[in-house]
Every structure is written in structure tokens, then in C-alpha cells.
Amino acid sequence: MALSSPILRLCRPANALTAAADVVAGWCIAGADDWAALALLAPASMLLYAGGITLNDVFDARVDAVERPERPIPSGAISRRAAAMLGAMLLALGGALAVMASLIIDTATWSGAIAGALIALILLYDSILKKNALTRALGMGGCRGLNLALGMSASGVALAVWWPLATIHFAYIGAVTLMSQTENAGQSARSGPAIGILGAAAAVIAYLAAGFASVRVDGLLIAMFLAAFTLVTLPSMIQAARTPQSKFVRGAVMAGVLGIVALDASIAAGFAGVVYGLGTLALLPLCMWLGARFAVT
């Protein structure tokens, strides 16, 4: 499929790959031992993300015709009806993979239910929640939290114990979403990167505290991988805070979205070891390559 394909442009492949990283991190929390669960849940998360972002453009078609006429639907590269059918099909396929995990993997009892909740929240976000700044952030953060929980659902026992860790993704992506809403706000955008920095810092502090408090988690490995997360996200956010112009805020948002892979790598390393952390972090260069070729924000 060519890089100019309207389907790829709709699905935001870099973003979808970060969703798979969330599931890998959750799977590491679940014990990193059921590869069949990972083989089903990682693509399920990518399909759900791609379906949600595609339907987001369907709902935004009229606004994009004025503000972003280059996007696939307003540009005429794909019809709104075809995009709606594509988004619905992607959500259905993602949900089906999660349900399959519940049916064939004894420990993945909750996978289908979490995917169902995620689909419901995606549709609610696309149609209603994104119309308000606060509910937009809550909705997007909630989707990411559920995505991490989808990976954890590979083990019902682990999910019951570690589900509060989903609040880290909820807080972090919620903050990045608040920051993204100042993208075109000129000087008023100054508060956006500050919100993103504070939200990221709060999430990281909470995560470190949880890590060092647990005998199961390697707090030192977490700290080492969080250094990569900081290198990916913080410089762009500081630059946007100092110079609140649209291009810098957009760059900070992009770094914030792609940087979640490094956050996921720290979780994978902390729970499953350095090899799993490095394996997750290896997704970041591909995400950045895709992010340079397809829209992220």
C-alpha cells in the first residue's frame, strides 16, 4: 500500500503502533508468558485505534473541510461513507480479536469486555466527548488507560492487582490532549505545554512510586528507561512552552504521543526485564519514521 494511500493517512499508522506498545506493556505486567494472548491483543489494539481515528475524521469531515482541507475525506481522496465503513470494520475486527482471546485463552477472561468498553468509549469520544476541552482530555486518556488494561487482561489475576497503573496512561495522555487543544491558539498556547509537562511529571512520579514500592518491579530499570522517555518528550515541550507557536506546540504534541512508547518500554522493563524493555523501545524509531510521513496530531 503506497505511503500516499488515503487509508493509511486515515489510520495514522504511527499512532496505531503506539497502541500496540501499550498492550505490550500491559502484557508484561500480566507476566509476559502467554504469547498467544499478545499475538491477538496487540493487533486488536492497533485495529481499534485505527478504527477510532478513522471515525474521528468521519465525524470531523465538515470542520476539516474548512480547517484541514488536505485530509483524505475533505480532499476527496476517500468518501465519507467509505471512511465510515472502514472505521466500523476496523473496530469490529479489533473487537473480534479480543473476544477470540477471551474464548481460547483461559487467563484472558476480561479481554473481550475491556475491548467492548474501549469501543464504546471510542464512539462516545468521536461523537460527543471531544466537543468539550475537559471531556476530550478525559475521553482520550480513558481510551489509553483501557488500552493498557487490554494488555493486562492476558492475566485476570494481574489485571485485578495492577489495574491502577492504567491511570498513568490516563493522566499522561489526558495532559497531552489538553496541550494539543492549544495547537492553533497563538500566544494563548503557552499554558498547553506547561499542562503537558506537569501531567507527564505527575504520571512519572506516581509510576516511580508504585515501582519502588513493589518487590516485583525493578525500580532501577524503570528509572533508566524513563530517561529515554524524558529525552523524547521534554525538549519539545520546553521549546513549545518558551515559544508558544503552532508549529512548536504541534511538535510537542507529536513527541508526547510517540513518547508513550518509551513510557511503555519502562513498564515492560520494570515488570519483565531489560530485554522486553528494549524490544518495546525498538518500536520507537519505526513510530518516528511513520510519524514523519503521516499525520500524528
Whole-number pLDDT of residue 187:
42
Return the C-alpha cell found at 43.
493487533
Spatial separation of the C-alpha atoms in residues 269 and 188, rounded to whole Å: 38
Beta-carbon contacts of 157 under 8 Å, excluding residues fewer than 6 positions away, are 107
Number of residues that make up the chain? 297
Spatial contact of 71 and 57, defined as CB atoms under 8 Å apart: yes
* pLDDT per position as a tens digit, 145-156: 999 999 999 999
Whole-prediction pTM value? 0.89
For the chain, percent of residues with pLDDT exceeding 70: 86
Spatial contact of 283 and 17, defined as CB atoms under 8 Å apart: yes
* pLDDT per position as a tens digit, 215-271: 567 767 887 888 888 888 888 878 877 777 778 888 888 888 999 999 999 889 888
State the number of CA atoms in the 13 A half-sphere of 189 facing the CB: 28
Spatial contact of 36 and 98, defined as CB atoms under 8 Å apart: no
Amino acid symbol at 149: A
C-alpha closest to that of 112 among 47, 165, 41: 41
Whole-number pLDDT of residue 182:
64
How distant, in Å, are the alpha carbons of 4, 7, 9, 19, 209 from that of 1? 8, 9, 11, 21, 44
Average pLDDT value over all residues in the chain: 86
Whole-number pLDDT of residue 74:
92
Q: What are phi and psi of 19, to 5 degrees?
A: -65, -40
Q: Which range has highest mean pLDDT (126-135, 175-184, 205-214)?
A: 126-135
Return the C-alpha cell found at 45.
489494539
Whole-number pLDDT of residue 211:
56
* pLDDT per position as a tens digit, 17-44: 999 999 999 999 999 999 999 999 999 9
**295: pLDDT strictly greater than 90:** no
Any idea which of 61-65, 140-144, 293-297 has the lowest mean pLDDT?
Answer: 293-297
Label residue 104 exposed, middle or buried (CB < 10 Å: 0-12, 13-18, 19+).
exposed
